[in-house]
Amino acid sequence: MGGARVLSSESFEVGSAYEAIEMCFERGWTDGLPVVPPTEPAIVQFLEAARLEPGHVIGTIPERDRVITAEKLAINAVMAGARPEYMPVLVAAVEALTDPAFQFNHLASFGSPWPLMIVSGPAVRELGLNYGTWAMGPGCRANATLGRTLSLLVSNCALGHLGGIQRGTYGHPGRFNSMCIGENPEDFGWQPHNVEMGFDRETTTVTLLSTYPWIQQPTCVQMEPERILAAIGGSIAEGDFVRGVYPIIMGRPWAEVFVRARWTKERMAEWLIEHTRRSVASLKARGRWGVLTSQFDGFGAVTQEVLPGDESRYVWVWKESDLDPYVFDIAATQRKKGIHFVVAGGDGGTRTCWLTPYQFSTNPVTKPVRAA
C-alpha cells in the first residue's frame, strides 16, 4: 500500500456543492434523494480506511456483466452519506451481494425483493448502529447509510434502477435505507447471530437475506416460549405462506424469555418447523392452491373448491409433506429453508417482527468483516 491512489472513474467539474448535487440528479445517480458529492479527497479517504486500491475487485456480477471495484464502492458510499470507517462492513456486504449463492438476478424480480442487511458483532457498537428502539426506522447514520450504499451501488453499478434491469411491480421501500439492522450486542446469554453463522464473537459478520417488507406481529401476552413462537408461527402461516429462510427479529425482552427458559435457537427453530402449518382449506380460501406450482395446467384444472377433509389436511412452511407440490413451486420445494433469529428493537410494546423471504431464487449469505 502507500502512494497516491489514482482514480479511474470519469470526473466532472462543478462550481459548487449544490451544482454537484443537481448534476447527480440529472445523471440519474441518486435514489431520488440528494447525495453527498463524491469528490476525490472523500473517495480516497474511504479507500484508505479500507486499505484498498481503487481497482481492487471486490466482486463480480456476471448476470449484469459487471465488476464491483473498491473505487465504485467508495464513490457510492460517499454519496450515500456513509463514513470511511464503514468501509470494511460495506466490503463484506458487497462480497455477500456478489456471492453466487445470493443469486443476484432475483433483485430484478416482479416481487421487488431487497436484502435485509444484518450486522452482528463488535462493529455494531464501534460504528454506532442502532439495535434498540426504532431499530428499523430512520435517524441512525450507520444503519441508514450502510443500507443506502448498497442500494446506490446496485443502481449505479448493476442496472438495478428504474429503467435499468428492474421489473419490480411495486418496488421495495426499504431500499431508501433502514434495511440494515445491527444485532443487540449485549451479553445476556443469547447466542448472537455471528456465532450462529459459525464465527466467533469477536468477528463481525454481515448477512444479506432477501425479503419483502417486514411484518410486525403482536405477540401473546403470556411471555412463554411456546406462546411467543405460536404467535409468530401463526402469523407466518396465515400470511402468504412462502417457503424460504425467514429472519425473525425480536427485542431483548422476548429473547430473554427463551434464555431464561434455556431454550436454544435450535429448539426454537425445531418448534416452529413442527408447528407452523396451514390447512388445505385455508390455503384454498386464500387462492393458494396449485396456481403457481407444477400442478397448474391451465386455469380451471386446479380449483380452489374446499373438499371434505381439507380442514384437517396440512402443509408446513418448513417441513416437507406430500402436498408440497400443490402449494410451492418447484424451486421452493428444493431450496434452502430456515430461520434466522436476531435480537434488535426496543424493549417496549407487544410486537415481534418477521420478514417474508423472497421465495424463488436466492439464499442468505454471511461474510465476515475483515480488519482493514
Partner 1 sequence: MMERIFDPTSGPVTGKLIMAKRPGTLAGTKLAVLWNGRPHGDKILRRVLDLLGERHDFQVTEFLKKPYIGNVAPKEYFDRILASQANAVLVGIGD
Q: Which residues bind partner 1 (CB under 8 A)?
A: 7, 9-17, 20, 23-24, 29, 37-40, 43, 60, 62-69, 72, 75-76, 79, 100, 103-106, 152-153, 156-157, 292-294, 296-297, 329-331, 360-362
Q: In the 8-state DSSP scheme, what is residue 204?
A: -
User: What CA–CA distance (Å, rounded) separates 231 from 238?
Assistant: 11
Nearer to partner 1, 136 or 332 (CB): 332
Nearer to partner 1, 62 or 139 (CB): 62
Tell the smallest beta-carbon distance from residue 153 to partner 1 (Å): 8
User: What CA–CA distance (Å, rounded) separates 141 from 139?
Assistant: 6
116 has which bridge partners? 209
Tell the smallest beta-carbon distance from residue 67 to partner 1 (Å): 6
Tell the smallest beta-carbon distance from residue 324 to partner 1 (Å): 13
Nearer to partner 1, 9 or 133 (CB): 9
Tell the smallest beta-carbon distance from residue 187 to partner 1 (Å): 39
Cell numbers that stand for 215 in this block: 411484518
3-class SS at 307?
A: coil
Tell the smallest beta-carbon distance from residue 226 to partner 1 (Å): 36
Tell the smallest beta-carbon distance from residue 325 to partner 1 (Å): 10
Residue 51 makes CB contacts below 8 A (sequence gap 6+) with: 1, 372
Nearer to partner 1, 10 or 200 (CB): 10
Tell the smallest beta-carbon distance from residue 117 to partner 1 (Å): 19
Tell the smallest beta-carbon distance from residue 63 to partner 1 (Å): 6
Q: In the 8-state DSSP scheme, what is residue 158?
A: H
Tell the smallest beta-carbon distance from residue 68 to partner 1 (Å): 8
User: What CA–CA distance (Å, rounded) separates 82 from 89?
Assistant: 11
User: What CA–CA distance (Å, rounded) separates 238 from 7?
Assistant: 52
Nearer to partner 1, 78 or 353 (CB): 78
Nearer to partner 1, 16 or 169 (CB): 16
Nearer to partner 1, 156 or 217 (CB): 156
Nearer to partner 1, 41 or 308 (CB): 41
Q: 36-43: long-range contacts (C-beta < 8 A, 24 or more apart)?
A: 36/78, 36/79, 36/80, 36/81, 37/78, 37/79, 38/75, 38/76, 38/78, 38/79, 39/78, 40/7, 40/11, 42/78, 43/7, 43/71, 43/74, 43/75, 43/78
User: What CA–CA distance (Å, rounded) separates 366 from 288?
Assistant: 32
* CA terminus-to-terminus distance, the chain: 12
3-class SS at 32?
A: coil
Nearer to partner 1, 24 or 339 (CB): 24
3-class SS at 190?
A: coil
